[in-house]
Amino acid sequence: MSSPFDKRKRGASPLRKLGCSLLAFVVLGWIAVEVLSRRADSVVEARKSDPAFDPKSHTPDLWDKWAFSTLDPLTFGLANARVAAHPFLGYALKPSWRSGPADKLQASHNSLGLRGREVERAKPLGTFRIVTLGGSSVYGSQDSNDDSVWSARLEREFAERLPNARIEVLNGGCIGHNSFEMLANFQFRLLDLEPDVLFVYEAINDMKAALYTRSGVPVQSDNTHYRQAWQSERPGAFDGLFESSRAYLVWRRYFTSWGRERVDLYSYIQRGYGDGSGSWYCREGQDWPAGEVPEQGLVNYRRNLNNLISVAQANGVQVVLATQALVRRHMEREECRATQLATYDRIQAIQKETAAARGAALCDCGPAIVDEVERTWNASAQSERPEPVATSGFKWRQGGDGLWRKDLFHNDVHPYDDGSALIARVVAEWLVGSKLLPR
């Protein structure tokens, strides 16, 4: 005769079997991921060492996605980023950095942390130096290589137009920098290069800082509503144990936001960045009513610009404030578009007012550049889809009317190679016509 205990034991047996089966499945799956991920490391390394391997034409597969170099963005992704934390600037270009061989857009930084070739810190005797200062449109975020960036092209323009003068043009731009970082960058780093002329070409990043609402903090005089200190990783006692498991790394990389946040520059420097979605420049998702746009951001910009000019002039550096070219057609879908454009115009008005008040030169090159970009756009209309659609110099885009047109700018302020050539030509013509350059 069976006891009640025996019945309970027989009734629980299927559940235990199911539990054991699930556990076995999880363990086998975990072991499979561990083995395959480690196998992926050797497969990826073997590919890279093969002389016939072309990284530019290779489409990443499961081996690539499960290799340790992909699963550990802090070691590989962030380590290969072109910027790093900086005690004064928040972040700056990494010295002696170079883009990967498979990258479509090639870039390199010299040992001084400037984009382009190596240069001496001390200005060579008989050399006239120009330093360009700004954000990504100065750095050249959409140029195919270092020689395509408009600062490099500008130096070649001078060599042709003024063959008797030795003029160097150094690229002092950094992606995302606004007047706060530009002021510190010039005073603490670029001034040591002994420039004769400082050419400032930036407006849109200060417009963004002036309108930034994502942090939920009113605009601050020190820009802390917009920027935050670079958050460094501080692994805990058990992190090393978990990170030795490839299954854990696969889960963290592809099933959480951890990996994306660790390789996204703005999650380190932008206050309230979050996942990058939602309103950026509108108050509570709504456009700013007339007259309610925060004035503090514009006050900040005027102060920073004045201080930049003061530092330069105190050290015998001539300042040129240039109006940045903005292709407004690319901002048709921007939130609070009218407010952004009006604030951008106010930023450029401050440039003109400050230049006049402080005796700085004003290169009003933005309108001429945009006019040529739009002339090319309108004159190139065709009904057939071109091949290839994208080139290093420009891109064919299809408008609302179905026609394809040639665009020299990637978006609002970032030129392709041909757009950079246009900027260099317009700036060169203005500078050669000025009294700033040696003959």
pLDDT digits (tens, 9 = 90+) for 404-426: 999 999 999 999 999 999 999 99
Q: What is the DSSP letter of 43?
A: H
Whether the predicted pLDDT of 320 surpasses 90:
yes
d(CA 408, CA 349): 25
pLDDT of 53: 81
For the record, the structure tokens of 119 come out as: 């240069």
Which has more pLDDT, 27 or 397? 397
Q: What is the DSSP letter of 438?
A: -
Paired residues of 404 in beta bridges: 382, 398
Whether the predicted pLDDT of 141 surpasses 60:
yes
Write the DSSP string, 141-205.
TT-SSGGGSHHHHHHHHHHHH-TTS-EEEEE---TT--HHHHHHHHHHTGGGG--SEEEEE--HH
Distance of alpha carbon 361 from its chain centroid, rounded? 28
Inter-CA distances, 430 with 88, 112, 323, 366, 424, Å: 33, 29, 12, 12, 10
**Taking the domain 95-213+279-366+417-433, which CATH number applies?**
3.40.50.1110
Distance of alpha carbon 227 from its chain centroid, rounded? 15
Q: Is the dihedral of CA 67, 73, 74, 80 positive or negative?
A: positive
CA angle, residues 202, 426, 437, in degrees to nearest 5: 90
For the record, the structure tokens of 11 come out as: 């009734």
d(CA 158, CA 165): 8
Q: What is the mean pLDDT of residues 23-34?
A: 87
3-state secondary structure at position 219 = coil
- Percentage of residues in the chain with pLDDT exceeding 70? 92
Whether the predicted pLDDT of 184 surpasses 80:
yes
pTM of this prediction exceeds 0.75: yes
Q: What are phi and psi of 252, to 5 degrees?
A: -65, -35
Torsion of CA 107, 113, 119, 120, to 10 degrees: -170
N residues, the chain = 439
Pairing between β-strand 83-86 and β-strand 404-407 as defined by DSSP bridges: unpaired
Q: What is the mean pLDDT of residues 329-340?
A: 93
Q: Is-cis flag, bond preceding 415, omega within 30?
A: no
pLDDT of 66: 85
Q: Tell me the domain boundaries of the chain.
A: 95-213+279-366+417-433
Q: Is the dihedral of CA 246, 251, 257, 258 positive or negative?
A: negative
Which band of pLDDT confidence, cut at 50, 70 and 90, is reported for residue 26?
confident
Q: What are phi and psi of 285, to 5 degrees?
A: 80, -5
Paired residues of 34 in beta bridges: none
d(CA 341, CA 313): 31
d(CA 148, CA 169): 13
Q: Which residue has the tokens 């001078």?
A: 158
pLDDT of 78: 67
d(CA 46, CA 50): 6
pLDDT digits (tens, 9 = 90+) for 92-120: 999 999 998 888 999 999 999 999 999 99
What is the number of other CB atoms lying within 10 angstroms of the CB of residue 325? 27
Lowest mean pLDDT among 78-82, 87-91, 203-207, 416-420: 78-82
Q: What is the mean pLDDT of residues 12-32?
A: 83
Whether the predicted pLDDT of 355 surpasses 80:
yes
